[in-house]
């Protein structure tokens, strides 16, 4: 996978007609993202195993979002299962919890 991505980027740069066009392709802006350190470390390790860094992975995410005109994955709220529904109903009826003073 990481070799394929590297080849795609190299092909794009080689096909650019001149240094100015290559510079335009590679132009970058800065972005600051706040996230938990552990999440960042896990994501960095995953992307490193794919041959890319966080910046490249973020760029891929944005390109894919633009391509599909939305988030590039399904976003949904999981439907509670029967056990959760039973607990919710018990809580609604005031059962299953003992108040202590």
pLDDT of amino acid 80: 83
- The model's pTM is 0.51
Residue 99 lies in a domain: no
Residue 90 lies in a domain: no
Q: Say if residues 54 and 44 touch (Cβ distance below 8 Å).
A: yes
Residue 82 lies in a domain: no
Residue 93 lies in a domain: no
Please tell me the total count of domains within the chain. 1
Helix pair 37-49, 54-68: axis angle to 10 deg:
80
Q: Which domain holds residue 43?
A: 2-75
Residue 59 lies in a domain: yes
Tell me phi and psi for residue 60, to 5 degrees. -60, -45
- pLDDT-flagged residues of the chain (< 70): 1-27, 96-101
Residue 95 lies in a domain: no
Per the listing, tokens 């490249």 go with: 56
pLDDT of amino acid 44: 95
pLDDT of amino acid 69: 93
Residue 66 lies in a domain: yes
Q: Say if residues 82 and 73 touch (Cβ distance below 8 Å).
A: no
Residue 14 lies in a domain: yes
pLDDT of amino acid 61: 92
Tokens of 54: 């966080």
């Amino acid at each position: 996978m990481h070799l394929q991505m590297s080849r795609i980027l190299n092909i794009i740069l080689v096909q650019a007609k001149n240094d100015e066009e290559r510079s335009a392709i590679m132009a970058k802006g800065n972005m600051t993202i706040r996230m938990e350190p552990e999440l960042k470390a896990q994501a960095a390790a995953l992307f490193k195993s794919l041959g890319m860094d966080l910046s490249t992975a973020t760029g891929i995410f944005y390109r894919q979002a633009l391509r599909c005109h939305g988030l590039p994955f399904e976003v949904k709220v999981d439907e509670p299962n029967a056990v959760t529904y039973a607990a919710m109903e018990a809580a609604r009826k005031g059962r299953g919890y003992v108040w202590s003073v």
